[in-house]
C-alpha cells in the first residue's frame, strides 16, 4: 500500500548545523498523526522538505508516492497545508479569499466549507486582516478541509487561539468527514490537544526521529522509578534507557525508556535501596524524551528543580 | 492563474491608483509653470528616476512580501505550476507599473491632444511606452534580486545604460534593446521562480543569459577597482599623476595654466621659425573653443525628452513656434490666445498647415538654435517672424553635411560649425542675428578624423586664428597629440606643428584595465551602443576596436587573466561537482569573458560546498 | 425499544491513564452504579467522541475493550449495547484483577486505623448493595 509520507535517510544541513539527520519516517494513510518536538527539533524543516520548498542535503522524501522535489500541481492540489500564522491574502475579504481559493480546487466541497466555517463567526465582507486570530484560523481550516485533500498538514494551527476557538478548531479537525478520507498531520506543543486528537505520536528531537507509535504505546515505553541511592546517583551512562533524573529530598526520581519490570533489580544492583515503580502521563513521558539529551543544569543531583 | 493575478493585483490596486492620481496632479502643477511636453533636464530626470527607482523598489518589495517563509509556502503550494504562479505575479506587477508609470502619461497626452491646441505628435504617445519598459526592466531586476540566490544580479542594472543614455537612431534601436532586456529578465525570473529559492539555476541557457549581462556590469566594477589598488593609494602617498603632472604626457597640457605656456608645450621640439612669435602673440589673445566632434541630430519621431529646444519664441509677435514631427512643419501659436498663426515649411511661411504640400514639409527634423535659427544637416535657415520670411543662412557644398551644431563663442565673438569635411567660422552677429546668407570667414579642413579631436582651442591673432586641436586618440588609439594650425585672413592654412605625446600619464595597465580583465566586454558593449546612437563616436565600432593597438605586455596580461579564469572556473566546477553541460558553459563563458565571468561564477554558485556525510 | 443511555463521564488529559482507559473505567462505573442498564444503547462512537472532544478512534478502542470485557455487545447495524452481566475474563485474569484491587484498597485503608472488623463489615455491606442493584435490574422503558 502507498504511504502518505515516506522519508528515507532524509538529511538537511544549514551550513554546519544539521536540522534533520537520517530521518526515516513512514506515515500510513488515514488517521491523525501528531508531531511533537521542541523548538528547533526540525519540524519546520521537515514540512519545508515535504512541501519541496527546501532541497535535502541527502536522502529522499515522498508525499503520496511522489518525490517532494518535483511535486506536480496535481499532487499539491491533494495536499493541504495550514501554518501557525494562517497565512492568507490579508488585503482581501474573507468571501473573496474563499472564492479565490475555491477556483484552484475542482474537488471543492461547499458543504464542508459551510459546516466548518459555521463553527467560527466569519463575516464574508470582513477583510482578512481584520479577522480575529480564531476567525482567521477557522476560515483557513474551512478552506483547507473543503479542498478535500488526501493529506492535510497542520503546523501548530491552534497557536494563540483562545479556549473557545481552540475547541471549535479541534472539533472541526476531528469530526469533519472529507471525501478525500484525509490523513492529518498535526503538529502542536499542546499535550492536551495531542492526547485528544492523536492516533499516532511522532516525536522528533534534534532532527532525529524518536518515536512513531500510538500515544498509549509510547507512554508504556516510559517508566518512572523512585530509588534511594543514599544521596549519590550512579553515572547516567550506567543506567540503561536513561532519560532524566531528579533529586527530590535526597531520593532520586529516574525516568527511563524501554525498560521492563526487571529494571528495579538493575537499580538495586547499582546500589539503590527502596525502589518503587511509578506511572507517568503522556506529557511527562514526552517531556522526558524531548529533554533527554539536553544538559539542563541540575538534572542530576540538584536539590530542587522545577 | 487569472484568479491569482487578480488577487495579486488587488493587493496593489489602491497604491497604483493613488500614484496615478498623484502623477496627474503633478502634471497639472507642472503645466501651470511650463509646457508639460517640454523635455527639460529636470523633468526628464525626475520621471526617469521615478520609473527606474519605482520599478526597482516595487519589484523588490513585491517579492520580499512573498518570500517570507510562510507566505512563500502559501504562494507556491497550490495546484498551479511555478511558471503559472510567476506569470500571475509578474502580470500583476506589469499592470501596476502600467497604471502607476505609463497610464498617467497617456491620459495627460491624450487630454492635451483632444482638448488643447498644443502640438501633440505620435512620438508623444511613444514616451510612456519607454517609461513603461524602463520601469518594467528595473521591476524585473528587482524581483530577480530577491528570487535568485545570486545577489550579484543587481549588476544587471548596468543594462539600463543602454536604455537611458543613448539618443537612439531609430524606433528600432529605441525599443529593441528594452524589449530584449524584458525578454531575458522575464526568462531569468521564470527560471529563478522555483519552490526552493536557495538553489541556483542549472540550465546552460539561463546561466549564459544571466552571466553575460552580469559580466558587463562586473567588468565595469572591476575597472572601477583600479581606484582601490592604484588611484587611492597613490593619492594617499601623494604620488598620483593628477597631482604631479607627468611632463611629456598628453594630459600635461592642462597642467600648463596659461594659453601661452600650453602653446609652448605643444610647440616643444618644433623648429618652426615663428614658434616664439606665436607664443608671444597668444599671451595677449582671447581663447575660444570649437568642438568639431559628431553631434546627434534630432530624428523624426524621437521622444520629446531628447528635444534640445522646445520652440522658437518671437517676443514681438508674442508667438511660439514648435516643430511637429507629424506634419514636419514649424507650427506657430499665439502665446496668450493659443490661436494658430501659420506654419513654416521648407519653402517659407504658410498661413495654415492645410496649405502645405509635400514639397513644403521638411525632409528632416530641424533643430532650433537661439531665437530664430533652424538647422538641418544640410541647411541652416533663419526665420524672420516679423516679415514672415524664411532665409537660407548657409548651405555647405554638395556631398558635405553638418556634423556639429552651430556653436557661438564669446571672446572673441564668432560662430562655428563643423561639417564632415571642415570647420567653418562665421561672424557671430551676422550668423545669429541677421536674416542673410552668410559666407564663412575661415574654413579649416579637418586635420584628422573629427572623431579623434576632443576640441580645438582658438586664439585670435592680428592676421587670423591659431587652432590648437588636440585629442587623447589624436593620432590613433591611445596616441594623444596636438596640432597647431594657423588660419590666415583670406583663407590660407598653415600647419605649424604636430606633436604626439608618447609619455603616458598613467601606466597602460591602468588605462586599459577594462580591456585586460575582459577584452570581450568592450567588444560586446561598445558596438551595440554605437549601433543605437551612431553619432556617439566614443563608442568604437567593431572595426575601430580591432584597429586598436596596445603595448605588448597588455596582451600578455589579457591572455594570462583569460587562462587563469578558465582554469579557476574548471577547478571550481569540479569542486561544485557541476555536470558536463554546466562545466562546459562556464568554460566557454570564462574563455570568452575572462575575469568578470569568473566573478559571475562565484556569485552564481553556492559559496559553501555542501556534501552529505557518508 | 431500548433507550440510548447517557454516558456521563469526564475526560482528564494529563492523567496517567490513557483516555480510552478513562472511558472504559467511566462506563464500567456507570454500569456498576446502575446509571447504565443492560440493554441500554451506548452513544455512537462519533457521538461520544464529539461529546468528549476526542479522536473517534479512541472511543472505538474503548468500546472494543468494553466488548472484550463483556460489558457491552455490538448488535449488527444498530450499535453497541450494555450487555447482560457475564464473565468473559479467565480465572487467572480475574484473580490478577482482584489482587490488584485488594492491594490498592488495603494500601488506602491501612493508615486509617479503623478496626479490621469495621472495615470488613463496611466492605461486605458495599458488596451486598452493588450485588442487589445488579441482581434487580429495572424494567426497560
Nearest C-alpha in A relative to C13: A192
Using the Cβ of A218 and the Cβ atoms of chain C, whether some distance falls under 8 Å is answered with no
Give dist(CA B501, CA B268) in Å, integer.
11
Closest approach of A198 to chain C, Cα-based (Å): 7
Measured between beta carbons, the chain C residues lying within 8 angstroms of A171 are: 50, 53
pLDDT in tens, A16-25: 888 999 999 9
Within-domain flag for A43:
yes
Nearest C-alpha in C relative to A168: C53
For residue A209, the cross-strand partners are A204
Question: Is residue B372 packed enough to be buried (19+ CB in 10 Å), middle (13-18) or exposed (0-12)?
Answer: buried
Is the pLDDT at A220 greater than 90? The verdict is no
Using the Cβ of C63 and the Cβ atoms of chain A, whether some distance falls under 8 Å is answered with no
E strand map for B100-198 = none
Distance of CA A275 to the CA centre of its chain: 34
How confident is the model over A278-292, as a mean pLDDT? 84
pLDDT number for residue A297: 42
How confident is the model over C86-111, as a mean pLDDT? 80
Measured between beta carbons, the chain C residues lying within 8 angstroms of A115 are: none
Give dist(CA A219, CA A203) in Å, integer.
12
Instruction: Determine the residue among B92, B196, B198, B609 to mutate to test chain A binding: the one whose Cβ has the most chain A Cβ atoms within 10 Å.
Output: B196
Q: What does pLDDT average to over chain A?
A: 86
Instruction: Determine the residue among A49, A82, A87 to mutate to test chain B binding: the one whose Cβ has the most chain B Cβ atoms within 10 Å.
Output: A87
What letter does residue A190 receive in the DSSP assignment?
-
Instruction: Answer whether C14 sits within 8 Å of A281, measured CB to CB.
Output: yes
Measured between beta carbons, the chain A residues lying within 8 angstroms of C54 are: 174, 196-197
Using the Cβ of A233 and the Cβ atoms of chain C, whether some distance falls under 8 Å is answered with no
All domains of chain C, ordered by start, with CATH? 19-82 (1.10.10.10), 91-135 (no CATH)
The C-alpha cell at A213 is: 507509535
Instruction: Answer whether A175 sits within 8 Å of C19, measured CB to CB.
Output: no
Q: Which chains touch A (3 or more CB pairs under 8 A)?
A: B, C
Nearest C-alpha in A relative to B13: A91
Measured between beta carbons, the chain A residues lying within 8 angstroms of B70 are: 83-85, 87
Q: In which residue are the cell numbers 565571468 written? A: B597
Is the pLDDT at A174 greater than 80? The verdict is yes
Give dist(CA A233, CA A244) in Å, integer.
12
Measured between beta carbons, the chain A residues lying within 8 angstroms of C57 are: 31, 199
Considering only CB atoms, A283 lies closest to which of C14, C20, C46, namely C14
Task: Please tell me chain B's helix, strand, coil percentages from 3-state DSSP, rounded to the nearest 5.
Answer: 50, 15, 35
pLDDT number for residue A1: 54
Looking at A213, A240, A259, which one is the last position of a domain? A213
Q: What are phi and psi of B218, to 5 degrees?
A: -70, -35
pLDDT number for residue C78: 83
Give dist(CA B77, CA B195) in Å, integer.
8
Measured between beta carbons, the chain A residues lying within 8 angstroms of B85 are: none
Interior angle at CA C59, CA C56 and CA C61, nearest 5: 110
pLDDT number for residue A180: 66
Closest approach of B81 to chain A, Cα-based (Å): 6
Closest approach of A222 to chain B, Cα-based (Å): 32
Measured between beta carbons, the chain C residues lying within 8 angstroms of A197 are: 54-55
Using the Cβ of A163 and the Cβ atoms of chain C, whether some distance falls under 8 Å is answered with no
Strand, helix or coil for residue A10: strand
Instruction: Answer whether B79 sits within 8 Å of A87, measured CB to CB.
Output: no
Q: How confident is the model at residue C137 (pLDDT cuts 50, 70, 90)?
A: very low
Four-residue CA torsion sign, B84, B90, B93, B97: negative
Are residues A31 and A178 located together in one domain of the fold? yes
Are residues A128 and A233 located together in one domain of the fold? no
Question: B21: how many CB neighbours lie within 10 A of its CB?
Answer: 11
pLDDT number for residue A299: 41
Closest approach of B4 to chain A, Cα-based (Å): 7
| pLDDT more than 70, % of chain C | 87
Instruction: Answer whether A198 sits within 8 Å of C55, measured CB to CB.
Output: yes
- Which residues span the domain enclosing A131? 5-213
Are residues A96 and A185 located together in one domain of the fold? yes
Instruction: Answer whether A52 sits within 8 Å of B196, measured CB to CB.
Output: yes
* Three-class DSSP labels, chain C: CCCECCCCCCCCCCCCCCHHHHHHHHHHHHHHCCCCCCCCECCCHHHHHHHHCCCHHHHHHHHHHHHHCCCEEEECCCEEEECCCCCCCCHHHHHHHHHHHHHHHHHHHHHHCCCHHHHHHHHHHHHHHHHHHHHCCCCCC
Q: Which parts of chain A fold into alpha helices (H)? A: 43-50, 73-78, 94-104, 110-117, 133-146, 163-175, 191-197, 215-221, 263-269, 282-290
Is the pLDDT at A227 greater than 90? The verdict is no
Instruction: Answer whether A54 sits within 8 Å of B70, measured CB to CB.
Output: no
Closest approach of A181 to chain C, Cα-based (Å): 14
Q: How confident is the model at residue C139 (pLDDT cuts 50, 70, 90)?
A: very low
Q: Do chains A and B touch (3 or more CB pairs under 8 A)?
A: yes
* H or E, element range at B560: helix B552-575
The full length of chain B comes to 614
Are residues A149 and A285 located together in one domain of the fold? no
pLDDT number for residue B152: 86
Is the pLDDT at A48 greater than 90? The verdict is yes
The C-alpha cell at A28 is: 500510513
Considering only CB atoms, A196 lies closest to which of C16, C46, C55, namely C55
Measured between beta carbons, the chain A residues lying within 8 angstroms of C18 are: 215-216, 219, 282
| Residues B218/B596, Cβ–Cβ less than 8 Å | yes
Are residues A190 and A245 located together in one domain of the fold? no
Q: Which chains touch B (3 or more CB pairs under 8 A)?
A: A
What letter does residue B503 receive in the DSSP assignment?
B
Within-domain flag for A172:
yes
Considering only CB atoms, C53 lies closest to which of A171, A281, A282, namely A171
Nearest C-alpha in C relative to A33: C55
Domain count, chain A: 2
pLDDT number for residue C141: 37
Question: A118: how many CB neighbours lie within 10 A of its CB?
Answer: 13
Nearest C-alpha in A relative to B84: A73
Using the Cβ of C15 and the Cβ atoms of chain A, whether some distance falls under 8 Å is answered with yes
Mean pLDDT for each 10-residue chunk of chain B (614 residues)?
93 96 95 88 93 96 94 94 96 97 95 90 94 97 94 90 91 94 96 91 91 92 89 89 87 86 89 88 87 90 89 90 93 90 92 91 92 92 91 92 91 90 91 89 91 91 90 90 90 89 88 91 93 91 91 94 96 91 94 94 79 45
Are residues A135 and A117 located together in one domain of the fold? yes
How confident is the model over A181-210, as a mean pLDDT? 89
CATH of the domain at A254: 3.30.70
Measured between beta carbons, the chain C residues lying within 8 angstroms of A170 are: 53
Are residues A246 and A206 located together in one domain of the fold? no
Instruction: Answer whether C55 sits within 8 Å of A282, measured CB to CB.
Output: no
Is the pLDDT at A125 greater than 60? The verdict is yes
Instruction: Determine the residue among A178, A195, A197 to mutate to test chain C binding: the one whose Cβ has the most chain C Cβ atoms within 10 Å.
Output: A195
Cross-sheet strand order for the sheet of B464-471: B287-290, B455-461, B464-471, B481-488, B493-500
Using the Cβ of A28 and the Cβ atoms of chain C, whether some distance falls under 8 Å is answered with no
Question: B59: how many CB neighbours lie within 10 A of its CB?
Answer: 28
For residue A213, the cross-strand partners are A201
Within-domain flag for A146:
yes
Are residues A120 and A168 located together in one domain of the fold? yes
Nearest C-alpha in C relative to A282: C14
Using the Cβ of C82 and the Cβ atoms of chain A, whether some distance falls under 8 Å is answered with no
Are residues A188 and A39 located together in one domain of the fold? yes
Q: Are strands A200-205 and A32-36 parallel, antiparallel or unpaired?
A: parallel
Interior angle at CA A23, CA A20 and CA A29, nearest 5: 125
Looking at A162, A179, A213, which one is the last position of a domain? A213
Are residues A208 and A254 located together in one domain of the fold? no
Considering only CB atoms, A199 lies closest to which of C46, C50, C55, namely C55
Are residues A163 and A84 located together in one domain of the fold? yes
Instruction: Answer whether C49 sits within 8 Å of A216, measured CB to CB.
Output: no
Is the pLDDT at A56 greater than 90? The verdict is yes
Interior angle at CA B196, CA B191 and CA B202, nearest 5: 45
Measured between beta carbons, the chain A residues lying within 8 angstroms of B612 are: 11, 13, 57-59
Q: Name the nearest CA neighbour of A270 among A219, A235, A306, A218.
A: A235
Are residues A73 and A137 located together in one domain of the fold? yes
Interior angle at CA B574, CA B568 and CA B579, nearest 5: 120
Closest approach of B577 to chain A, Cα-based (Å): 14
pLDDT number for residue B242: 85
Q: Do chains C and A touch (3 or more CB pairs under 8 A)?
A: yes
Instruction: Determine the residue among C10, C18, C54 to mutate to test chain A binding: the one whose Cβ has the most chain A Cβ atoms within 10 Å.
Output: C18
Is the pLDDT at C28 greater than 80? The verdict is yes
Instruction: Answer whether C55 sits within 8 Å of A32, measured CB to CB.
Output: yes
pLDDT in tens, A80-118: 999 989 999 999 999 999 999 999 999 999 999 999 998
Within-domain flag for A299:
no
CATH of the domain at A60: 3.40.50.300
Closest approach of C79 to chain A, Cα-based (Å): 19
Instruction: Answer whether A100 sits within 8 Å of B7, measured CB to CB.
Output: yes
Q: How confident is the model at residue A292 (pLDDT cuts 50, 70, 90)?
A: confident
Amino acid at each position: 500500500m502507498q504511504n502518505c509520507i515516506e522519508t528515507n535517510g532524509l538529511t538537511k544541513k544549514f551550513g554546519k548545523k544539521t536540522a534533520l539527520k537520517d530521518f526515516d519516517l513512514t506515515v500510513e494513510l488515514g488517521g491523525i498523526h501528531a508531531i511533537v518536538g521542541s523548538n528547533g527539533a526540525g519540524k519546520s524543516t521537515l514540512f519545508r522538505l515535504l512541501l519541496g520548498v527546501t532541497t535535502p542535503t541527502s536522502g529522499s522524501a515522498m508525499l503520496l508516492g511522489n518525490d517532494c522535489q518535483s511535486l506536480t500541481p496535481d499532487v499539491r492540489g491533494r495536499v493541504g497545508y495550514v501554518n501557525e500564522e494562517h497565512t492568507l491574502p490579508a488585503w482581501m475579504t474573507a468571501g473573496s479569499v474563499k472564492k479565490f481559493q475555491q477556483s484552484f480546487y475542482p474537488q471543492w466541497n461547499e458543504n464542508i466549507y459551510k459546516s466548518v466555517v459555521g463553527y467560527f463567526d466569519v463575516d464574508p465582507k470582513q477583510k482578512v486582516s481584520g479577522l480575529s486570530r480564531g476567525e482567521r484560523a477557522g476560515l483557513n481550516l474551512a478552506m483547507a478541509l473543503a479542498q478535500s485533500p488526501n493529506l492535510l498538514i497542520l503546523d501548530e494551527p491552534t497557536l494563540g487561539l483562545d479556549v473557545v476557538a481552540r475547541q471549535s478548531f479541534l472539533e472541526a479537525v476531528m469530526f469533519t468527514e472529507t471525501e478525500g478520507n484525509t490523513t492529518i498531520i498535526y503538529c502542536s506543543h499542546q499535550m492536551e490537544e495531542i492526547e485528544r486528537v492523536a492516533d499516532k505520536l511522532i516525536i522528533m528531537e534534534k532532527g532525529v526521529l524518536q518515536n512513531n507509535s500510538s500515544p498509549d504505546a509510547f507512554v508504556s515505553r516510559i517508566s518512572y522509578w523512585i530509588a534511594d541511592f543514599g544521596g549519590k546517583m550512579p553515572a547516567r551512562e550506567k543506567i540503561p534507557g536513561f532519560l532524566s533524573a531528579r533529586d527530590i529530598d535526597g531520593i532520586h526520581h529516574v525516568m527511563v525508556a524501554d525498560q521492563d519490570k526487571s529494571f528495579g533489580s538493575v537499580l538495586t544492583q547499582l546500589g539503590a535501596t527502596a525502589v518503587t515503580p511509578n506511572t507517568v502521563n503522556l506529557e511527562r513521558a514526552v517531556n522526558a524524551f524531548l529533554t533527554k539529551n539536553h544538559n539542563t543544569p541540575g538534572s542530576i543531583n540538584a536539590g530542587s528543580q522545577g | 492563474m487569472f484568479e491569482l493575478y487578480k488577487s495579486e493585483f488587488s493587493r496593489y490596486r489602491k497604491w497604483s491608483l493613488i500614484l496615478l492620481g498623484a502623477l496627474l496632479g503633478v502634471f497639472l502643477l507642472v503645466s501651470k509653470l511650463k509646457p508639460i511636453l517640454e523635455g527639460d533636464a529636470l523633468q526628464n530626470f525626475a520621471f526617469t528616476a521615478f520609473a527606474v527607482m519605482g520599478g526597482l523598489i516595487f519589484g523588490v518589495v513585491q517579492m520580499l512580501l512573498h518570500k517570507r517563509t510562510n507566505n512563500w509556502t502559501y504562494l507556491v503550494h497550490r495546484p498551479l505550476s511555478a511558471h503559472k504562479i510567476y506569470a500571475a505575479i509578474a502580470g500583476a506587477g506589469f499592470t501596476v507599473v502600467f497604471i502607476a508609470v505609463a497610464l498617467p502619461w497617456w491620459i495627460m497626452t491624450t487630454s492635451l491632444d483632444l482638448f488643447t491646441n498644443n502640438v501633440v505628435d505620435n512620438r508623444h504617445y511613444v514616451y510612456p511606452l519607454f517609461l513603461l519598459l524602463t520601469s518594467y526592466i528595473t521591476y524585473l531586476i528587482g524581483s530577480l534580486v530577491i528570487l535568485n540566490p545570486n545577489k550579484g544580479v543587481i549588476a544587471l542594472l548596468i543594462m539600463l545604460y543602454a536604455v537611458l543614455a543613448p539618443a537612439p537612431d531609430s524606433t528600432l534601436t529605441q525599443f529593441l534593446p528594452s524589449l530584449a532586456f524584458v525578454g531575458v529578465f522575464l526568462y531569468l525570473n521564470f527560471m529563478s521562480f522555483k519552490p526552493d529559492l536557495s538553489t541556483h539555476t542549472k540550465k546552460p541557457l539561463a546561466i549564459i543569459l544571466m552571466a553575460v549581462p552580469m559580466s558587463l556590469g562586473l567588468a565595469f566594477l572591476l575597472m572601477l577597482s583600479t581606484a582601490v589598488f592604484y588611484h587611492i593609494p597613490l593619492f594617499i602617498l601623494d604620488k598620483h599623476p593628477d597631482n604631479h603632472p607627468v611632463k611629456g604626457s598628453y594630459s600635461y597640457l592642462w597642467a600648463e595654466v596659461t594659453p601661452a605656456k600650453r602653446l609652448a608645450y605643444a610647440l616643444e621640439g618644433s623648429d618652426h621659425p615663428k614658434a616664439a612669435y606665436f607664443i608671444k602673440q597668444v599671451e595677449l589673445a582671447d581663447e575660444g573653443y570649437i568642438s568639431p566632434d559628431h553631434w546627434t541630430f534630432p530624428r523624426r519621431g524621437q521622444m520629446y525628452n531628447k528635444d534640445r529646444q522646445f520652440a522658437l519664441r518671437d517676443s514681438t509677435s508674442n508667438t511660439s513656434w514648435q516643430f511637429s514631427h507629424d506634419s514636419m512643419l514649424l507650427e506657430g501659436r499665439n502665446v496668450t490666445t493659443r490661436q494658430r498663426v501659420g506654419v513654416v515649411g521648407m519653402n517659407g511661411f504658410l498661413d495654415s498647415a492645410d496649405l502645405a504640400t509635400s514639397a513644403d514639409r521638411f525632409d528632416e527634423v530641424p533643430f532650433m538654435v537661439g531665437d530664430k535659427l533652424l538647422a538641418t544637416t544640410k541647411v541652416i535657415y533663419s526665420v524672420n517672424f516679423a516679415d514672415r520670411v524664411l532665409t537660407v543662412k548657409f548651405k555647405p557644398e554638395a556631398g558635405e553635411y553638418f556634423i556639429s551644431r552651430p556653436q557661438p563663442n564669446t571672446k572673441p565673438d564668432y560662430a562655428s560649425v563643423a561639417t564632415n569635411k571642415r570647420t567653418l567660422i562665421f561672424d557671430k552677429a551676422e550668423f545669429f542675428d541677421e536674416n542673410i546668407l552668410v559666407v564663412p570667414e575661415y574654413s579649416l579642413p579637418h586635420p584628422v578624423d573629427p572623431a579623434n579631436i576632443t576640441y580645438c582651442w582658438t586664439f585670435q591673432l592680428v592676421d587670423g586664428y591659431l587652432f590648437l586641436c588636440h585629442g587623447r586618440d589624436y593620432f590613433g588609439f591611445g596616441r594623444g597629440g596636438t596640432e597647431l594650425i594657423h588660419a590666415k585672413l583670406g583663407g590660407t592654412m598653415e600647419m605649424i606643428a604636430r606633436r604626439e605625446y608618447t609619455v603616458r600619464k598613467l601606466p597602460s595597465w591602468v588605462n586599459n584595465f577594462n580591456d585586460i580583465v575582459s577584452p570581450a566586454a568592450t567588444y560586446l558593449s561598445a558596438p551595440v551602443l554605437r549601433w543605437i546612437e551612431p553619432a556617439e563616436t566614443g563608442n568604437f565600432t567593431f572595426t575601430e576596436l580591432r584597429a586598436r593597438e596596445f603595448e605588448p605586455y597588455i596582451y600578455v596580461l589579457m591572455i594570462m587573466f583569460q587562462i587563469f579564469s578558465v582554469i579557476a572556473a574548471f577547478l571550481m566546477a569540479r569542486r561544485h561537482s557541476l555536470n558536463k553541460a554546466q562545466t562546459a558553459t562556464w568554460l566557454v563563458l570564462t574563455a570568452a569573458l575572462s575575469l568578470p565571468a569568473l566573478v559571475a561564477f562565484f556569485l552564481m554558485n553556492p559559496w559553501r560546498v555542501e556534501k552529505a556525510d557518508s | 425499544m431500548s433507550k440510548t443511555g447517557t454516558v456521563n463521564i469526564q475526560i482528564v488529559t494529563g492523567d496517567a491513564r490513557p483516555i480510552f482507559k478513562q472511558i472504559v473505567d467511566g462506563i464500567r462505573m456507570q454500569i456498576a452504579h446502575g446509571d447504565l442498564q443492560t440493554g441500554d444503547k451506548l452513544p455512537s462512537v462519533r457521538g461520544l467522541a464529539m461529546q468528549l472532544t476526542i479522536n473517534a478512534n479512541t472511543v472505538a478502542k474503548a468500546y472494543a475493550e468494553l466488548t472484550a470485557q463483556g460489558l457491552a455487545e455490538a448488535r449488527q447495524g444498530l450499535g453497541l449495547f450494555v450487555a447482560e452481566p457475564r464473565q468473559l475474563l479467565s480465572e487467572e485474569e480475574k484473580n490478577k484483577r482482584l489482587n490488584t484491587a485488594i492491594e490498592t484498597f488495603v494500601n488506602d485503608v491501612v493508615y486509617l486505623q479503623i478496626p479490621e472488623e469495621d472495615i470488613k463489615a463496611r466492605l461486605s455491606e458495599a458488596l451486598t448493595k452493588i450485588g442487589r442493584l445488579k441482581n434487580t435490574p429495572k424494567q426497560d422503558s
